[in-house]
Amino acid sequence: MNRIYPENSLILAPLSGYTDLPYRRSARRFGCRYCFTEMIDAASLAYGNAATRRLLDRGADEEWLGVQLVGSHPERIGRAAEILNQHDFDVLDFNLGCPVAKVVKKGAGAVLGEDADAAAAALELITNRSRHPVTAKIRILSETDPEPTLRLIKKLIAAGAQAITVHGRIRSKFYSGPVHFDIIAAARETAGVQIIANGGVTGASTYAELRGKTGCDTIMAARGAIGNPWLFRELAAPENYSPPAPEELSDELERHLREMMAYYGETRALRVGRKVVLDYLRGRGFPGHLKERGTALLTSADFAEFMKLVRQGPAARYRRWQRAYPEADRRLA
């Protein structure tokens, strides 16, 4: 079996609104090698949308980068694949798993993935137009019966997919509820191409469970990495992992936002970066009034004053909470 990713690879998923160049650089500082751009809308790319084209930026320091395309209109998908041929990517992934309304209402993402024939036809069009290796990301189609998912996978492989990432939840469950390891395991056992397991990775225990119960040696992390680039350090060597101290958290948050300012300009970076600030602070004991202040940052000077408060560390009650819940994710040292 040919492999797109080496054994024991850990991949950062394409995350809309997150995995831009500064975000990927943050993850790479903590050991992430395999990253994707944000999800690219085929129609926007085909029509020459400037903001969409900027999502294709690749840093000179990025040794490996994949791009993910989403869409349902054949002509636009084909044109988008041709445009991507002008750029240097290691993989072109086709999204057949996104469950959000603005994607599925266009007949794309997870709703396209529920029509195996249409999904395969779209992916075949991409493989015929693309110079990049083509993969697909799907969701399971049933929580109890592996056959619909296996049928989809078989058709995607016939259409040219060289690897398939399987998210172990159905579309209606979005990102909550149990991950159905048995369906992913059935895919790995029968597919004949590399299967990447996805869903529910937030720390070492969930990572080990996903690997152990699916038999997949390659894992894709998604929402568990939001505001937590230390996840990659943790999963690389869980037995030696120590969570970040408040000072390290503060240093990385500040560096991440400063890099966003350099990339986007101060005004846009602080507007786009508000959610990034909140993600770093979430679940780590910082008081509500500080988070509220983080949603109102307008200038670099605002941010500098805000970071002085962040560097004071979490509230005292957080230490009591840590002692009560020693196995919780997103801990601080």
Give me 45's structure tokens.
């790319």
pLDDT digits (tens, 9 = 90+) for 251-300: 999 999 999 999 999 999 999 999 999 999 998 999 999 999 999 999 99
pLDDT at 92 over 90: yes
In eight-state DSSP terms, residue 86 is: T
Give me 88's structure tokens.
């240097």
pLDDT digits (tens, 9 = 90+) for 3-19: 999 999 999 999 999 99
- What number is the average pLDDT over the span 190-194? 94
pLDDT score at 43: 96
- Paired with 11 in beta bridges are 34, 220
pLDDT at 330 over 70: no
* Range 10-240 classified under CATH 3.90.1170.50: no
**CATH number for the domain formed by residue range(s) 246-317:** 1.10.1200
Please give the share of the chain, as a percent, with pLDDT higher than 90: 90
Whole-prediction pTM? 0.94
pLDDT at 328 over 80: no
Closest CA to 136 of 117, 148, 115, 122: 122
Are 107 and 149 contacting, i.e. CB atoms less than 8 angstroms apart? no
> Would you place residue 324 in the very low, low, confident or very high pLDDT band (cuts 50, 70, 90)?
confident
pLDDT score at 320: 82
pLDDT at 202 over 90: yes
pLDDT digits (tens, 9 = 90+) for 134-149: 999 999 999 999 999 9
Please provide the average confidence, as pLDDT, over all residues in the chain. Answer: 95
Query: Fold match between 10-240 and 246-317?
Result: no
pLDDT score at 316: 81
Q: What would the DSSP string read from start to end of 17-45?
A: TT-SHHHHHHHHHTT--BEEEEEEEHHHH
> Would you place residue 332 in the very low, low, confident or very high pLDDT band (cuts 50, 70, 90)?
confident
pLDDT score at 66: 98
pLDDT score at 226: 96
Determine how β-strand 35-41 pairs with β-strand 65-70: parallel
pLDDT digits (tens, 9 = 90+) for 21-77: 999 999 999 999 999 999 999 999 999 999 999 999 999 999 999 999 999 999 999
The domain spans of the chain are: 10-240, 246-317
Give me 86's structure tokens.
């002008």
Give me 192's structure tokens.
């004949």
